[in-house]
Amino acid sequence: MIGGCLTGSGTARCSVVPGSAAIVALLLVLAIPLFTALLPHRAGAQAQQEVMTAADAWHGARNGTLFIIDVRTPAEWRSTGIPPGAGLVDFNGPGGRAGFLERVRSLGLDPANDRVALICASGARSARAASWLDRAGYRHVYSVREGMLGRSRLTEPRQPGWLARGLPTAPWPANSSSLKP
């Protein structure tokens, strides 16, 4: 409230300027967006997540403008193969989020400049991992929403996935066979 209180002889008398509560509310409504615009950007907490198709991820990786990290488990890598040249960081590996971030850091990527696409089986783990990297300061992070196996949820259009698109895979472990088309 805008106004004031006078005290004297054991009593208090307060006055309020008419409409003062509305003025204060208006100032808050205008000040909060201005204040938050000045704060450092934390995309993981505020922005919509960046996504890309499997084909776009392969195109970027093949041209050297994007690094793919496969966040599936070793059993999944063995079962389907991996995107050629991908870094392998098991999302469910030891140490939880801190362990995951440490394993990603060990890949030697530049958080400020390198473009990174994360892929899993169907997009759930890669979306969460992308959020973790975003909060850790990686500025160009994408989730391959359709993953290796595709998505068929009723709430969105069917997306075929890396394998159904016929994109190349490399065997894992690497010495088990040659590249598949």
- Give the CATH number, domain containing residue 112: 3.40.250.10
Whether 170 and 118 share a structural domain: yes
Grouped pLDDT means (10 residues each) for the chain, 181 residues: 53 57 53 42 50 96 97 96 96 95 96 96 94 95 94 69 96 56 27
pLDDT at 13: 59
Q: Tell me, rounded to whole angstroms, the distance of Cα 141 from its chain centroid.
A: 6
Its pTM surpasses 0.85:
no
> Is residue 170 domain-resident?
yes
pLDDT at 91: 96
pLDDT at 36: 39
Whether 13 and 59 share a structural domain: no
Domain that includes residue 77, residue range:
44-176
pLDDT at 176: 44
- 126 contacts 118 by C-beta, under 8 angstroms: yes
Whether 27 and 49 share a structural domain: no
pLDDT at 42: 41
Measuring CA to CA, how many Å separate 120 from each of 5, 30, 35, 94, 149?
Answer: 64, 42, 37, 17, 8
Helices (H), the chain: 20-38, 43-46, 54-62, 74-80, 96-105, 124-135, 161-164
pLDDT at 64: 95
Whether 33 and 49 share a structural domain: no
pLDDT at 41: 41
Measuring CA to CA, how many Å separate 87 from each of 7, 67, 146?
Answer: 71, 8, 18
